[in-house]
């Protein structure tokens, strides 16, 4: 499967496991509920580990926070495009918890939301919308200037004006 990561289209090497599948070595993600039960055994296997958070249960992030240094990917599963909790969770991951790994958006989000998800810290997208991935990359060029600071740390229009 191809995804967008760091504004490039790549082949995804991660495997999303359900609760019943034995974890192979390599890059795997598990639901948060499985992480809670099998944390130590998942960390003992060879390979990277990711945890999928249900954005309808934002309290999962506070429980997961102490484990973030041992996790390489946090996937935000968006159940509906109208649910904004993923934006808050991504920002908290980057700014409050200092998470430097991959934050991936998956599920029901729109092309129009990708620019804003990137601003709050999401750097990978499992986009399933009607646009081809090549066209979806254009979402990051929606606006050329930014008025408010965000987790992406990009320059603001005010800074550009002061330096001119």
pLDDT string in tens for the chain (164-residue length): 999 999 999 999 999 998 888 888 999 999 999 999 999 999 999 999 999 998 887 788 999 999 999 999 999 998 877 788 999 999 999 999 999 999 999 998 999 999 999 999 999 999 988 889 999 999 888 877 777 777 776 776 777 777 87
Instruction: Please state, in angstroms and rounded to a whole number, the distance separating the CA atoms of residues 107 and 126.
Output: 7
Instruction: Please state, in angstroms and rounded to a whole number, the distance separating the CA atoms of residues 136 and 103.
Output: 18
Q: What is the pLDDT of residue 81?
A: 79
6, 35, 130, 139 from 134: Cα distances, Å: 13, 34, 11, 10
Q: What is the pLDDT of residue 55?
A: 81
DSSP state of 137: G
Give Cα 128 distance to the centre of its chain.
15
Helix (H) or strand (E) holding 34: helix 32-44
Query: In sequence order, which residues have a C-beta less than 8 Å from that of residue 102 and are 6 or more positions away?
Result: 5, 50, 72, 73, 74, 123, 124
Which tokens belong to 113? 């939301």
Give the three-class secondary structure for 20: coil
Give the three-class secondary structure for 53: strand
Give the three-class secondary structure for 138: helix
Q: What is the pLDDT of residue 59?
A: 86
Q: What is the pLDDT of residue 66?
A: 96
Dihedrals φ, ψ of 15, to 5°?
Answer: -115, 125
Q: What is the pLDDT of residue 141?
A: 86
């Amino acid at each position: 499967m191809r995804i967008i990561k760091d504004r490039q289209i790549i082949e995804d090497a991660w495997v999303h496991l359900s609760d019943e599948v034995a974890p192979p070595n390599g890059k795997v993600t598990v639901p948060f509920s499985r992480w809670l039960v099998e944390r130590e055994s998942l960390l003992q296997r060879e390979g990277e580990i990711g945890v999928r958070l249900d954005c309808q249960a934002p309290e999962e992030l506070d429980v997961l926070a102490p484990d973030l240094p041992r996790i390489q990917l946090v996937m935000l599963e968006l159940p509906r495009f109208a649910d904004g909790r993923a934006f808050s969770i991504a920002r908290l991951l980057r700014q409050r918890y200092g998470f430097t790994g991959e934050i991936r958006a998956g599920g029901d989000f729109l092309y129009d939301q990708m620019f804003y998800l990137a601003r709050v810290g999401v750097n990978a997208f499992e986009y399933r919308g009607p646009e081809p991935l090549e066209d979806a990359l254009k979402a990051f060029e929606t606006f050329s200037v930014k008025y408010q600071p965000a987790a992406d740390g990009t320059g603001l229009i005010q800074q550009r004006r002061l330096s001119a």
